[in-house]
Structure 1
Amino acid sequence: MTTETDQAAAAGEPEPPAAGAGVATRVRVPEPAGEQPPRRWLGDRIGSVEVLAALLVLLIVFRDPLAAALDDPRLQTWTTVFVSIMVQAVPFLVFGILLSAVIAVFVPRSFWARALPRHPALAVPAASAAGVVLPGCECGAVPIAGSLIRRGVTPAAALAFLLAAPAVNPIVLVATAVAFPNNPEMVVARGVASLVVAMVMGWLWLRLGRTEWIRMPRRPELDDASRSRAFWAAVRHDVTHAGGFLVLGAMAAASINVLVPERWLQNLADNAWLSILALALLAVLLSLCSEADAFVAASLSQFSLTSRLVFLVVGPMVDLKLISMQAGVFGRRFAFRFAPTTFAVALLVATGAGMVLL
């Protein structure tokens, strides 16, 4: 049978002093049986210095195969195509991101509700034309369109602006002219086709769209912060998204030029209808920024101007990053209906514009 003193000792409490003892007491702390020191995993001991040292060792060990690989003409061609696309596209991308952030932060959102016609059918072409004077990439157009809807703009007009702004603004049209210096008609065809697609989709929404498909968005980093913080938040957001996708797109374009046999590309380009569909799907997969996609399209010289026009019209309106952004901002019910319809309309309109204008 255990006594109270033993129970107190087991609990780690001080023992009561014995008769005639001093005031000093001892605390008997039980030691957990079988407890082992914590293990240190290999990942806990590896830091950036260790990773850098390992890379240096690998470079030294494999220096001869790496040197031979760098001398490969195909790798040199890949590097040349990648660097040329980046050098041409980055200035337009940076300027477009800065100007898009200025518009998103410093232009009052209530301005659009007052500036657009009250009749929804007339507000759609007006909002589409507003994209001509408002530079910005599609990454910035999605939250701006959501803000317009929250400020009372009819959804049809906001969606028309969402499609038109990244495709027909001055920065995109100038970039297209620089990328196609011998084909100025590409600038006209791209602007006209993109405007038509934006207006058709706005009017289709008036006819077939439902309000419950849209979940109202909110960007607290733009709404609740000061103007300077909101400006840099918008810049960081667009640089992270648009810049990253530009690098991936340039890498994909360079890889297509190097890895895909020329005969395959030529056979695909020789089939007019198949080449149009192929470049439309490629635009969706590459997810390029609209300020830079013209330079990638210009590098696909095997294809006709009409098929490359389809690439330029479809890309800023329907791609993987836009579908994901629209699903996050407006809801999946909206994105899964809006994106396929926009793809079909853009494909048809761009093909018709290419046959007439190119």
Structure 2
Amino acid sequence: MDTLPDTAAEPGRRTRRRFRISSVEVLCAILLIAILGQGRLQQLFDVPALRTGSTVFVAVCVQALPFLVLGVLISGAIAAFVPARVLEKVLPRKAGAAVGVAGLAGVALPGCECASVPVARRLMGQGVAPAAALAFLLAAPAVNPVVLVATAVAFPGKPELVLARFAGSLATAMVMGWLWARFGKLEWITERALRRLPEVAAGQRWRVFAETARTDLAEAGGFLVLGALISSALNVLVPAKWFGVLGDQIVLGVVVMAVLAVVLALCSEADAFVAASLTALPLLPKLVFLVVGPAVDVKLFALQAGTFGRSFAVRFAPATFVVAVACAVVAGVLVGVA
């Protein structure tokens, strides 16, 4: 077992640290090898299907990565420099009104899905009504400017899709907040989630910023790569006529894309590029995919169960799924996404 040197006995000797290789270093190494050896790799994998799949994979990653990086930087800044009491001061005391304000606050205080869960917990720990905290949890990763701009870039010339995503996601957050205010019970949330959390010390803010951004990038980057791989596999392995069937049967397409959003668990800054790569699908199922994904997926279910308790997650996640699908379809019909 490794031991650190006794700095008291050896004042002139520095403490040694073990270097750990994380997923970020592995991803950078793979990308560097791919860039330097692209000629050799093209000769080795000179198969039409592989070329198509690799093109889709690289396109999704390259388009989404800048928005993903920007998103995790904003998320880290919020965790380090924006105290939860800022929202507490501006939220109305009445739960119904607080839900609306908290949902709109997601536009000004963006963050990824992973970051919104601890922020919501901190809000509850500082006395904010759970309904408002949960509305912010759902709105922050879905209606912020980074996600909307990424959606506009992924779907050029389709401003109605961006508007429908904003409306459907905001409606999902507010409806779930109001439903919790009406039917939710505090005993469904674990006691530790309601305890007051310590504020970030002034001297630790930059460290918290760096660690939060790095952690979110490692987690979200992994999901982006997984999503890009699945997207490229769908484009190569699944016959185009299958997606044509989903296009002809719009209800089936909506259901399949909603379930796919839950399973893929993509980051909200990157999911639009994956949806855009499925060119054979109509816009409405893609809209459902974009609204459901940031609201409920397997990753979020695990985070919510660990933070607020399983009793909360098994009630909140299924209700969110149904509400998100309904809000997406209604928003798509009203805006004219078809």
Which TM class, normalised by the smaller chain length? 0.7 to 0.9
Q: Secondary structure at the match of 2:158?
A: coil
Is 1:110 the counterpart of 2:85? The answer is: yes
1:220 to partner: Cα distance: 8.4
Instruction: Deviation per CA, 1:170-199: give whole Å up to 9, x if none.
Output: 000000111111211111100011111110
Post-superposition offset of 1:75: 0.5
The 8 Å contact of residues 125 and 197 in structure 2, kept in 1 or not, is answered as: no
Describe the shift of the 1:69–1:272 C-alpha distance in structure 2 as closer, same or farther (beyond 3 A): farther
CA contact (8 A) 1:221 1:230 kept: no
Letter of the 1:85 counterpart: V
Residue 192 (1) aligns with residue 167 (2): yes
Tell me what 2:230 maps to: 252
In the aligned structure 1, how far is the partner of 2:183 from the partner of 2:224? Answer: 34
2:269 corresponds to 1:294: no
Structure 2 counterpart of 1:333: 311
SS in structure 1 of the partner of residue 156 of structure 2: coil
Task: Tell me whether 1:129 sits opposite 2:129 in the alignment.
Answer: no
Q: State the match for 1:74 in structure 2.
A: 49
Give the C-alpha shift of residue 226 in structure 1. 1.4
Give the distance between the partners of 1:253 and 1:308, measured in 2 at CA: 13
Q: Residue 269 of structure 1: CA displacement? A: 2.2
Q: Counterparts of 2:228 and 2:278 in 1: how far apart (Å)?
A: 12
Q: Give the share of equivalent positions with the same residue, in percent.
A: 57
* 8 Å Cα contact 2:83-2:199 kept in structure 1: no
Distance in 2 separating the partners of 1:255 and 1:202: 37
Partner residue of 1:208?
Answer: 183
**Cα–Cα, structure 1 residues 320 and 221, in superposed 2: closer, same or farther, change >3 Å?**
farther
Would the alpha carbon gap of residues 245 and 268 (structure 1) be closer, same or farther in structure 2, given more than 3 Å must change?
same
Give the partner amino acid of 2:234: I
Relative CO higher for 1 or 2, CA cutoff 8 Å, sep ≥ 6?
Answer: 2
**Which residue number corresponds to residue 68 of structure 2?**
93
Match of 1:350 among 301, 319, 328: 328
After superposition, the C-alpha distances for 1:40-63 in whole angstroms (9 at most, x for unaligned) are xxxxxxxxxxxxxxxxxxxxxxxx
Residue in 1 that maps onto 2:240: 262
Tell me if structure 2 keeps the 8 A contact 1:92–1:171.
yes
Cα deviation for residue 136 of structure 1 reads 1.3
- Could you tell me how far apart the structure 2 residues matched to 1:330 and 1:78 are? 40
Deviation at 1:268, TM superposition (A): 2.3
Structure 1 partner of 2:59 = 84
**Which one-letter code corresponds to 1:312 in the other structure?**
L
Which of 261, 269, 273 is residue 283 of structure 1 equivalent to?
Answer: 261
Q: Which residue of 1 aligns with 2:141?
A: 166
1:323 aligns with 2:298: no
Change (3 A) 1:312 1:323: same
Segment drifting more, 247-256 vs 69-78? 69-78
Counterpart residue number, 2:121: 146
Amino acid aligned to 2:118: P
SS in 1 for 2:268: coil
Compute the displacement of 1:349 (Å).
1.0
Unpaired runs of 5+ residues, structure 1, are: 1-65
CA distance in 2, matches of 1:220, 1:259: 48
- Residue 223 of structure 1: CA displacement? 4.7
Mapping of residues 53-64 of structure 1, within 5 Å: none
Task: Out of 144-153 and 216-225, give the one that drifted further.
Answer: 216-225
Alpha-carbon displacement from aligned partner over 1:246-277 (angstroms, at most 9, x marks no partner)? 11011111111111111222112211100000
Contact 1:222/1:230 (8 A) holds in 2: no
Matches within 5 A, 1:210-225: 210-215=185-190, 216-217=192-193, 223=200
1:222/1:234 contact within 8 Å kept: no
Partner of 2:107, secondary structure, is coil
Q: 1:195 to 1:220 in 2, by over 3 A?
A: closer
- Mean CA deviation greater in 161-170 or 239-248: 239-248
What amino acid is aligned across from residue 340 of structure 1 in structure 2? Answer: P
Distance 2:242 2:196 in 1: 45
Distance 2:150 2:304 in 1: 26
CA RMSD after TM alignment: 1.8
Aligned residues: 293
Picking from 199, 208, 216, the partner of 1:230 is 208
SS at match of 1:194: helix
- C-alpha change, 1:285 and 1:150, in structure 2 (3 Å) is same
CA contact (8 A) 2:52 2:236 kept: yes
Q: Secondary structure at the match of 2:108?
A: coil
Letter in 2 for 1:170: P
Provide the rounded CA distance (Å) in 2 between the counterparts of 1:220 and 1:297: 37
Q: CA deviation at 1:236?
A: 2.1
Give the TM-score normalised by structure 1: 0.79
